[in-house]
Chains A and B, each alone.
Chain A
Amino acid sequence: MHRKKPKAFYADIQNVHFMSADMLLLSALAGIAVVFALGVLLSKDNFYSALYMSVTLVFVATIYAFFNLQPVFVLIAFVFVGAIGIVTVALAATYRSEPERQVSGLWAVPVAITAFFIILAIVCYPVFHPQPVSSSVIEFELMNFLPVTEYLLLVLFLISLVILLLLSVLKIGIGERS
């Protein structure tokens, strides 16, 4: 029987420890994100729902930082949460009304059924696909993205789209006033 050298054996044990610590951290981040997402659903006040939504998105961004995807973390944290999320919080604070329950208890049935099937799929996947899936390290470099002309063109088109939308919104707003 093949026996591993002690050094390689201890390195394997250390890797297992690091992996479990990583998994625990990832599970904790994902769990907190889901708890805050539940807060959005269960909160009666839109203002608190918008705040919980921003925290959920910050935790989604943190999971990107966990995998060392810093450019996407910056985009989500500063553009998605920092601009879009805060505008939503401001809107919710402006139109603050008497809190009322918005979720019917009957919706719990389809949610429970869907959650059951998702959990079943996750649990059964290793049973029906016994061959191990190789783990892969994320190696994304922003410098590989920037020189590609097609992507620059895409960003240009998207900026034009947002400017066009902004102009049409302004036109509708002016038309409504007059």
Chain B
Amino acid sequence: MPAIDLISLSIIYATSFAILLIGYLAAVSSKDVIRLLISLEMMFGAIFMALIPLFSIAHLATTAFGLALITIFASSGELLILISAIAILDQRKKDIHTSAITIGGDKL
């Protein structure tokens, strides 16, 4: 079985950071809510990557699995909320672009 050493740790964290940054970039530049949903799921993917080294610590392996479960449930909740947001936005504005949202936030 492959062991986790410094090189594999570096590869895992670099990949996790790369996916997280791509997710952030996709989120800040998204023009519609579906792309926002995609970018949030990318961020959850990066969290999954960052959890791998926790499994290599013997007394934290079960905790790591618990965290992976929490992440999956959190992403399911996020999907439910965003789907309802998309449906309501479509019903009220007939548009799913983020520019159609005028409530909340600051105007620059």
Contacts and interface: CB of A to CB of B under 8 A. Distances in A.
A67 B61 contact: no
Contact of A95 (B2, B15, B96): B96
Interface string B6-42: 1111111111011101110110111110110111011
Nearest to B87: A173
B38 A92 contact: yes
Contacts of B66: 145, 151, 154
Nearest to A85: B41
Nearest to A134: B5
Contact of B21 (A83, A87, A115, A119): A115
Given A26-B8, A145-B66, A138 B48 contact: no
Contacts of A172: 84, 88
Interface in A1-38: 19, 22-23, 26-27, 30, 33-34, 37-38
Contacts of A165: 77, 80-81
Interface residues on B, range: 35 or more
Interface in A114-136: 114-115, 118-119, 122, 125-126, 132-136
B19 A37 contact: yes
B1 interface: yes
A37 B48 contact: no
Given A33-B19, A122-B13, 5 more contacts: A84-B75, A92-B38, A102-B35, A133-B9, A169-B80
Given A33-B15, A69-B55, A88-B79, A136 B3 contact: yes
A148 to B, nearest CB: 7
11 contacts: A67-B52, A69-B52, A80-B44, A85-B41, A102-B30, A103-B25, A111-B21, A118-B14, A136-B57, A159-B73, A165-B80
A138 B4 contact: yes
Interface in B39-81: 39, 41-42, 44-45, 48-49, 52, 55-58, 61-62, 64-66, 68-70, 72-73, 75-77, 79-81
Given A23-B8, A136-B4, A46 B35 contact: yes
Contacts of B87: 173, 176
